[in-house]
Structure 1
Amino acid sequence: MTFRPRRSVLYMPGSNARALDKARSLSADALIFDLEDAVAPDAKETARAQVSEAVTAGGYGPREVVVRINGLSTLWGEADLTAAAAAAPDAILIPKVSSPEDLARIEDLLRQAGAPEKTALWAMMETPLAMLNAGAIAAAAKGASPRLAVLVMGTNDLAKETGARLVAGRAPMLPWLMTCLAAARANGLDIIDGVYNDFNNEDGFAAECGQGVDLGMDGKTLIHPKQIGPCNAAFSASAEEIERARAIIAVFDLPENADKGAIQLDGRMVERLHADMARRTVAIADAIAARAQ
């Protein structure tokens, strides 16, 4: 069982060549080289060229490299997708996904562009229609869009499109966050929480990271490198949690427990589903530890 850590997912403007180079030394689990929101219209083509060059050159080590393209309905979208396919990042992030048909079209274009199989798709969940179609979008991973691997919450755009306020505790967002999380889990996908805009508010950021962990998110998108360390810490299992997970795995692996659905461990009842959860916890923890070596 292998899982890729996606605790910290940092957006970086594709128009900033210095930032793309600096990213090679950052401790983020994943980097999103952005051609969309972070790039002015008159810098789109320059950004596309710089991102393609950076991805092709590599040197990002274990960091997952993702390119966010402009939407296909824009002047730049198809050229972005073709360039990204040629550069072969780990994934391409598609903005404004609102239906499984959007992903099916992207799949067709990637095949035509000769994108390697290793390049996955990530989908931005940031429109009201995406919230209504979350289940169908996530289910595309088992049908029309086999590259789909991750859903990314676009909370700023959701606020813009719905009029919902971005307030402490995110009460207006919670129904949508949990709808998308359920859709992701039902279809074997990871899901990444939205950004926290006030990157100088350390307490507020810590609280929102903690909330994301409680909700079940795999990680959080970030807008500033200073958020990486606290985010990694928040989304990493504690030593006690890892020890407990290993103990659950060990007891279910005993031959005499092979056919049991539930057993007692340290005075508490644990079920086989807890063993599955424990294996995921340990696999991610081992992957994080391997990166630190």
Structure 2
Amino acid sequence: MAVRPRRSVLYMPGANARALVKARTLPADGLILDLEDSVAPDAKDQARATVLEAVRTGGYGGRELVIRVNGLDTPWGYADLVAAATAGADAVLVPKVESGEALRMAERVLVNAGAPDTLQLWAMMETPRAILDAGSVASATRRLTCLVMGTSDLTKDLNARDLPDRLPMQASLAATLLAARAHGLAALDGVHVDLEDTDGFAASCRQGRALGFDGKTLIHPNQLEAANEAFAPTAAEVEKARKIIAAHAEAMAAGKGITVVDGKLVEALHVETARRTVALAEAIGGDLCPLPGERVARPPGRDG
């Protein structure tokens, strides 16, 4: 994977053409153009056409574009996948994934419809079965690059309560994050549905970053600023990271494997984290920054 900013990934209703136009100006790292939950059954076909037109028209710059399709067990899922295969989006988000085979089925439809090798798959982790089978989901296909928490559906299925500290979600968040990291995937935290609870939203962002998530999925543009701030390295963190990298390089040149920075032991593992911090900061400020041995894949036909 490249170090790509995914601090803020905003759901956009696929049936709302005006919203899709406005999204071209929003400071989101990514946009999920939604054909599933936000679209009424009688508007599904029109929403698909609207999303395809938006993606093909472009104008989204470097924002990552993801099309969330309906499931293959619905009347619209197959047509969604066929249409998304060559639309020019970065990724297709499959909802309510409960097994690795579900992702492989979606991949087969995409490939048969002409999907390029660069088209990624993302998976929604929003059911108890998905969490229990997270390892199988995460290892299903090399096309999979990101796991997305669906905490609202999961809370419902668990008969859990939506508490400020998200204690009922901790096991599921951890299981998904562990599976993602074990298989080299990105992981996005779930949405915060109370738009008036700005303090609670900020707290959930801080918690998500502390747990290790790459960013947060959002339901309103008003949430963008807080998410971008929470999941970005601070100036102090970047400065410290550069200091660690430089000190370790000096130690290696002197034939030493470890050194001390600000009273703390620095080994190779700390340098790896520091390099990722710097790469993320640089990616936020401009181009994507691959780490050694990584490459950045872009789908053909995209602007920006």
Note if 1:290 corresponds to 2:286: yes
- Measured after TM superposition, the shift of residue 84 of structure 1 is 0.7
Identity %: 58
Q: C-alpha separation between the residues in 2 aligned to 1:74 and 1:172? A: 30
Q: What amino acid is aligned across from residue 40 of structure 1 in structure 2? A: A
Please tell me whether the aligned partners of residues 150 and 190 of structure 1 are also in contact (alpha carbons under 8 angstroms). yes
Report matched runs for 1:155-194 at 5 Å: 155-194=151-190
Q: C-alpha separation between the residues in 1 aligned to 2:123 and 2:134? A: 11
Please tell me whether the aligned partners of residues 251 and 257 of structure 2 are also in contact (alpha carbons under 8 angstroms). no
User: Is the partner of 2:79 in helix, strand or coil?
Assistant: helix
Please tell me whether the aligned partners of residues 29 and 63 of structure 2 are also in contact (alpha carbons under 8 angstroms). yes
Indicate the residue corresponding to 2:295 in structure 1. Answer: none
Out of 203, 210, 222, the position equivalent to 1:207 is: 203
The root-mean-square deviation of aligned C-alpha atoms, in Å, is: 1.4
Please tell me whether the aligned partners of residues 263 and 269 of structure 1 are also in contact (alpha carbons under 8 angstroms). yes
Note if 1:244 corresponds to 2:244: no
Indicate the residue corresponding to 2:112 in structure 1. Answer: 112
Q: What amino acid is aligned across from residue 269 of structure 1 in structure 2? A: L
- Measured after TM superposition, the shift of residue 259 of structure 1 is 6.3
Deviations 1:168-215 (A, max 9, x none): 110000011011101111111110000000112111111111111111
Q: How many equivalent pairs are there?
A: 287
Deviations 1:198-243 (A, max 9, x none): 1121111111111111111100000000000111011111111000
* Structure 1 unaligned spans of 5+: none
Distance 1:160 1:258, change over 3 A: farther
Q: What amino acid is aligned across from residue 25 of structure 1 in structure 2? A: T
Distance 1:246 1:69, change over 3 A: same
* Structure 2 unaligned spans of 5+: 288-304
Please tell me whether the aligned partners of residues 122 and 148 of structure 1 are also in contact (alpha carbons under 8 angstroms). yes
Q: C-alpha separation between the residues in 2 aligned to 1:120 and 1:2? A: 13
- Measured after TM superposition, the shift of residue 2 of structure 1 is 3.8
Q: C-alpha separation between the residues in 1 aligned to 2:71 and 2:204? A: 28
Out of 250, 269, 274, the position equivalent to 1:273 is: 269
Please tell me whether the aligned partners of residues 69 and 94 of structure 2 are also in contact (alpha carbons under 8 angstroms). yes
Note if 1:149 corresponds to 2:149: no
Q: RCO greater where, 1 or 2, for CA within 8 Å and sep 6 or more?
A: 2
Please tell me whether the aligned partners of residues 85 and 111 of structure 2 are also in contact (alpha carbons under 8 angstroms). no
Q: What amino acid is aligned across from residue 212 of structure 1 in structure 2? A: G
Q: C-alpha separation between the residues in 1 aligned to 2:258 and 2:56? A: 49
Deviations 1:137-174 (A, max 9, x none): 1122xxxx111000000000101111111111100000
Note if 1:71 corresponds to 2:66: no
Report matched runs for 1:77-92 at 5 Å: 77-92=77-92
Q: C-alpha separation between the residues in 1 aligned to 2:104 and 2:168? A: 30
Bigger shift: 248-257 or 161-170? 248-257
* TM-score after normalising by structure 1: 0.95
Deviations 1:43-97 (A, max 9, x none): 0000000001101111100100000000000000000001111202000000011
